[in-house]
Structure 1
């Protein structure tokens, strides 16, 4: 209860002070929540930065030693992204201006030919994925890239990658390694499709990427090997 000797003016002053005190408390609470959120964000960013640094370094450690300012500049250009099973990384006809590096999960590249999905490539842990040709030519994506599993990615834009090229020869080597990794996958598959029979292609897949057959639906494997699901089933029984 307020004192009886307060007049209306004093009562109004007291009310304003009480309201001010209430606002201050709410503001303090908001500040506290903000600080908590900020700290959590910093912790997440540090964890993310560690993931980016260790993930990229692990992949390149036998190619290139990146450290110091180069590593920091490199890490800043990558963004961590989480996608759910069924989510798209690249949409056909959409932008193709990013390269993904899979930390965890499995993705598939596919073309739509006369209403039928044709599997072009898969990407699992420590592999790159992109519509690289369209990205370089700044053209809309010709294929779709989606997740077969919940996936964690490091993503760098072509724009940021090209900007890094101008900063240091180290990054030119990094970009070259990315391009070579993507080209090597494409080349090996193209040669295998021309020279190997279906059974040989399947055996190579099992040897080179043994976990793929366990993680990817068989109809996708069949499309990737350019055989029917029935033919793949017969090949698997023989193997």
Structure 2
């Protein structure tokens, strides 16, 4: 476990072997099979997940329809942030789209890391800033761009999604039907072949 944690955070901080052992003790290695849930709506998000292998989606139900919020893959963190920090029921689901291996970190252990290793606090602050920037970009694009431009923006920013995420989930994320998604994809292929 120590070699995994050191591989992820080794660029942040230089620690002795005993310190790496102590830092590693804050994490748990977990596996989730494809289609299993890391978190369900209504549960408290007691942990945040660093994805070592696999990918997942975060979504919520809106009028009985699943609405994808984001997709995460290797080297990303995933949780319901509001539930995690405020100890309240989650408004979202987090579901594995592939078999996943993750490191889980509870809030208490995260705060302990911050207290004893300040570089971890800086690391997580920068991650939070990047997440806020990303989410604002997604919201603005969702409200201001037509479906085709949203499709292209996602392809530019997260091309991996188109290789690993089912099309109907991508369509939901883009706020379009699966049929519209297929038509946009077909139109773009025709435009690029001319």
Select which of 97, 120, 127 maps to 1:178: 127
Contact 1:129 1:182 in 2 (8 A): no
Describe the superposition over 1:73-116 as per-residue Cα deviations: whole angstroms up to 9, x where unpaired. Answer: 43221211111001111111112121111111010101011221
How many residues are paired up? Answer: 186
RCO higher in 1 or 2 (8 Å CA, sep ≥ 6)?
2
Alignment counterpart, residue 7 of structure 2, candidates 37, 54, 57? 54
Residue 164 of structure 2 is aligned to residue 211 of structure 1: no
Mapped contact 1:100–1:128 kept (Cα < 8 A):
yes
Higher gyration radius (CA): 1
Which has the larger helix fraction? 1
1:68 aligns with 2:15: yes
Confirm or deny that 1:85 pairs with 2:34. yes
Q: 5 Å matches for 1:149-228?
A: 149-228=98-177
How far did 1:55 drift? 3.0
The equivalent of 1:41 in structure 2 is none
Match of 1:124 in 2: 73
Counterpart secondary structure, 1:145: strand
Tell me the equivalent position of 2:192. none
Return the TM-score normalized by structure 2: 0.88
Unpaired stretches in structure 2, ≥5 consecutive residues = 189-194
Partner secondary structure for residue 68 of structure 1: coil
Q: TM-score, normalised by structure 1?
A: 0.72
Secondary structure, aligned partner of 2:159: coil
In 2, Cα distance between equivalents of 1:166 and 1:52: 18
Residues 17-41 of structure 1 deviation map (CA, whole Å, 9 limit, x = unaligned): xxxxxxxxxxxxxxxxxxxxxxxxx
> Quick check: which one's strand share is greater?
2
| Structure 1 residue 109 corresponds to structure 2 residue 58 | yes
**Aligned counterparts of 2:139 and 2:20: Cα–Cα separation in 1:** 34
Whole-Å separation in 2 of the counterparts to 1:99 and 1:68: 23
**2:82 is equivalent to residue 141 of structure 1:** no
Contact 2:31 2:100 (8 Å CA) reproduced? yes
Distance 1:72 1:66, change over 3 A: farther
Q: Does the CA-based 8 Å contact 1:100-1:155 persist in structure 2? A: yes
Stretch moving more, 78-87 or 167-176: 167-176
In the TM superposition, residue 205 of structure 1 has moved relative to its aligned partner by 1.4
Q: Is the 8 A contact 2:48 2:106 kept in 1?
A: yes
Give the superposition deviation at 1:71: 4.3
Task: Indicate which of 157, 162, 183 corresponds to 1:234.
Answer: 183
- The RMSD of aligned alpha carbons is 1.7
Q: Give the secondary-structure state (helix, strand or coil) at the position aligned to 2:49.
A: strand
